[in-house]
Structure 1
Amino acid sequence: MTGLPATMTAIDPAAPGGPEVLVSLERPVPKPGAGEVLVKVAAAGVNRPDVAQRLGLYPPPPGAPTIPGLEVAGEVVAVGDAVDSAVVGQKVCALVSGGGYAEYCVAPYGQCLPVPAPLDMVEAAALPETFFTVWSNLFQRGGAREGDTVLVHGGTGGIGTAAILLGKVFGLTVIVTAGSDEKCARAREVGAAHAINYKTQDFVEEIKRIAPGGAAVVLDLIGGDYVPRNLSCLAEEGRHVSIAAQLGPKAEISLWPIMARRLTLTGSLLRPRSVEFKTHLAEDLERDVWPHLAAGRISPIIDSTFPLVRAADAHRRMEGNDHVGKIVLEV
């Protein structure tokens, strides 16, 4: 890798802990393997799994860097075997299994997407983790299609705002939950048809009022005792898609409504999936979603940006639960 430095600034905590463990240090610049590219990182998205990893609750999958960060945007500066050297110089955003909190990051080329023309690098870095997740789970696994009503918990986070945006361009009626009247108002500004303050309203009763027939899909990040309540919100043939479990992974449910209304319970984790799966997902996004970004019909909601060396403050912002949209590190 001629002309590139041997070392880089990165965030690579030695042990689990609070935000204070996210200090910058020197690490070797990684080398791309077969099918991979090296990206000079301009910006990196911050996500809930990064916080879980920092706390020691979500270790990187085998072979992934210990440096956190699941999405980056920047310029391709080197390629591994089986990647055409003509891609050097391309501006891309990429989904990665780790390594994003650094000046350089390796990404499978199949998981790279072009930066849509209207977006800057901060906005591009806010796309991969949430858009891959929402497309895979709400649209593919959950089968949401034009005309459907869907319920999305965590409506003002990265996943929630991405679901609202994609729902807007694909003809969904998106109902979200959020933790304050101010957040509910912001969710409606982003494009949610309805927003329910889960601290002052019973979302099950609100769904019965707003959508008496029930929701076609529930996209759930909460788990725990939300699951049986979510099932009460589903229409016949409805799909419950779990993608996180902030209240815990265990739930007690009755099988009768599942059988009587022919409900489907499913879910997924994106990070452990194969490069082949994520490559196909990237191809689907480039075909079906990227034209909407390129045309300026939607763009990611950015809550705040922090320099890489202030990653601890970015995590504090996320753990404070006051953010709306994505938190991004600028490198």
Structure 2
Amino acid sequence: MRRALATRPGPASAVVELVDAQPEPVTPGDVTVRMLTTTVNPSDLITISGAYASRTTFPFVPGFEGAGEIVAAGPQVDNGLVGQRVIPIGGAGNWQQYRTVPASWCFPIPSDIPDTVATFAYINPVTALLMVDGHVPAGTRTAVITAAGSAIGGQLADLLRARGVAAIGLTTGRALRPAADAGRFTAIVDRRDPDWPDALTAAAGGPADVVFDCVGGADGPRLLSLLRPGGQLVHFGLLSGVPLTTAGPDVPAGRSVHLFRLRDRVYEMDRSAIQDAFDRVFAHLRAGRLGTPIAADYSLDDLGSALRRAETQPGKILIQIGR
């Protein structure tokens, strides 16, 4: 079978190689999943870059998202699972034709959800759902979302609007970032405006209740200054590749910072709670929310081209695995 390996830290297009390999053995509790589709998520590129050096061991098979079909069940696993389409989670490993994974980390795909939709149903939608659940209590009026042009930025806006919360988007102003979908936001502010903090406050009609940040970098103190007393800055990504700075002389007291990591969160949840999150994501998808437009489609054999595109152009990529 074909498998992608990140051999060392660096730009994915330079350090990921396609190799021939044997499927891993199926031990008790495991299933073998024939991967059907996968994608290149920003979390894949950031992990491959070495940004999370303390929790990344090279070489490894990247790929946090994907859809597949169970083709073999190991001992202590119900053989009736064979043939079921699933989303395998719990770690990287989806950039390969066959993946061996504990059955407990495989979640069924409803029959009305295509593979191409299920591929994108995990990282961004589940992250957005759990963050809104945890940090947008009743009475929340306004929320600021950085990297508003990102897929998860729009999905957060979808969920906030459904709760009656005004979603104010902050765009990064970077050439490779897609434009934010104005229809999903109450207002959008351009980060290139030197007075963007004042513009955000004006758009929100005053201090915001919560800020969702997936960029990191040096803007932490200014983002905190946008919040009302008791407001929350929820940091969940590192698109800049630079850790978030949250200390500074202008940071007002009474504002809190919360770090959200999806992997840590799902490891704290029992299977029924994770399944419930997926069920709710699928319901939102059926209702026209949390969708992910696909900008380009590649085969696994052309993974190098997919990675070069992901590094240089905006938009989500679908990778067809095949047999």
Class of the TM-score when normalised by the shorter of the 2 chains: 0.7 to 0.9
2:312 is the alignment partner of 1:328: no
2:65 is the alignment partner of 1:75: no
Aligned-residue sequence identity (percent) comes to: 25
2:266 is the alignment partner of 1:285: no
The within-5 A match list for 1:243-282 is 243-245=236-238, 246=240, 248-249=242-243, 251=245, 253-254=247-248, 257-259=251-253, 262-272=254-264, 275-277=267-269, 279=271, 281-282=273-274
CA distance in 2, matches of 1:228, 1:168: 26
Partner SS for 2:263: coil
Q: Aligned in 2, Cα 1:222/1:292: closer, same or farther, shift over 3 Å?
A: closer
User: 2:128 matched to which residue of 1?
Assistant: 134
Deviations 1:131-178 (CA, angstroms, capped at 9, x unpaired): 2222233432x2355753221111222322332333344433222222
Question: Which of residues 151, 164, 173 is equivalent to 2:166?
Answer: 173
CA distance in 1, matches of 2:164, 2:107: 24
CA distance in 2, matches of 1:27, 1:80: 20
**Number of aligned residue pairs:** 318
The within-5 A match list for 1:30-69 is 30-59=24-53, 61=55, 66-69=60-63
Q: CA shift at 1:273, angstroms?
A: 5.4
Question: Which of residues 227, 233, 255 is equivalent to 1:234?
Answer: 227
2:189 is the alignment partner of 1:199: no
Q: Aligned in 2, Cα 1:210/1:263: closer, same or farther, shift over 3 Å?
A: same
Deviations 1:40-70 (CA, angstroms, capped at 9, x unpaired): 1111121223213333333595899810011
- Structure 2 alignment gaps of length 5 or more: none
One-letter amino acid of the structure 1 residue matched with residue 302 of structure 2: R
Q: Aligned in 2, Cα 1:139/1:29: closer, same or farther, shift over 3 Å?
A: same
Q: Aligned in 2, Cα 1:152/1:252: closer, same or farther, shift over 3 Å?
A: closer
Q: Aligned in 2, Cα 1:150/1:64: closer, same or farther, shift over 3 Å?
A: farther
Retained in 1: the 8 A contact 2:189–2:199?
A: yes
Partner SS for 1:105: strand
- Structure 1 alignment gaps of length 5 or more: 1-7
TM-score by length of 2: 0.84
Partner SS for 1:43: strand
Q: Aligned in 2, Cα 1:59/1:149: closer, same or farther, shift over 3 Å?
A: same
User: 2:93 matched to which residue of 1?
Assistant: 99
User: 2:294 matched to which residue of 1?
Assistant: 302
Partner SS for 1:31: coil
Retained in 2: the 8 A contact 1:228–1:252?
A: yes
CA distance in 1, matches of 2:121, 2:207: 30
Partner SS for 2:269: helix
Retained in 2: the 8 A contact 1:314–1:327?
A: yes
4+ residue stretches of structure 1 with deviation over 6 A?
A: 62-65, 181-184
RMSD in angstroms over aligned alpha carbons?
Answer: 3.1
TM-score by length of 1: 0.82
Of the structure 1 ranges 71-80 and 32-41, higher mean CA displacement relative to structure 2 is found in: 32-41
Q: CA shift at 1:281, angstroms?
A: 4.9
Q: Aligned in 2, Cα 1:161/1:297: closer, same or farther, shift over 3 Å?
A: closer
Of the structure 1 ranges 29-38 and 66-75, higher mean CA displacement relative to structure 2 is found in: 29-38
Q: CA shift at 1:23, angstroms?
A: 2.9
